[in-house]
Amino acid sequence: MRFVAYSWTAASRRHGVSRERAAHVVEHCGLVLVRPPVLPDRPDEVLLFLGDDQDGIALEVVGVLLDDGRLRVIHAMVMQRRYLPLYEEVATWSL
C-alpha cells in the first residue's frame, strides 16, 4: 500500500517506536489486516500492519486512511504475541 504522506498521533509514540521504524513497517510489511468501522464509536476503517523494522524487529503499526490519502498512524509497538501466528505465516509466503 502506498500513501501520500503520514500524520502521527501522540499515542503512536507511546511505546517508543520512532516514526522512521513505523513507516518502514508500513512500506515493507508482508501483511495488512483491515478492521471495518464499528459504528458509532469508531467510524473509520483501521489498518493493521505487521512486519519488521530496519533492524529486523517485528512491529505492529495501526493507522487510519484519511480522505486526502494520508495514513494517520495511531499506534506502533513491538509486535504482541497474539499476532505471531499471522506474522510467521506471512513470512513463509515470501520464500
Q: Residue 65's pLDDT band (boundaries 50, 70, 90)?
A: very high
Count structural domains, the chain: 1
Determine the 3-state secondary structure of 34 from DSSP: strand
Evaluate whether residue 1 is within a structural domain.
no
Q: What is the pTM of this model?
A: 0.89
Evaluate whether residue 56 is within a structural domain.
yes
pLDDT digits (tens, 9 = 90+) for 75-92: 999 999 999 998 888 777
Evaluate whether residue 24 is within a structural domain.
yes
Cα–Cα distance measured from residue 83 to residue 86, given in angstroms and rounded to the nearest whole number: 6
Domain limits at 44? 6-93
Evaluate whether residue 72 is within a structural domain.
yes
Residue predicted with more confidence, 95 or 78:
78
pLDDT digits (tens, 9 = 90+) for 8-36: 999 999 999 999 999 999 999 867 889 88
Q: Residue 94's pLDDT band (boundaries 50, 70, 90)?
A: low
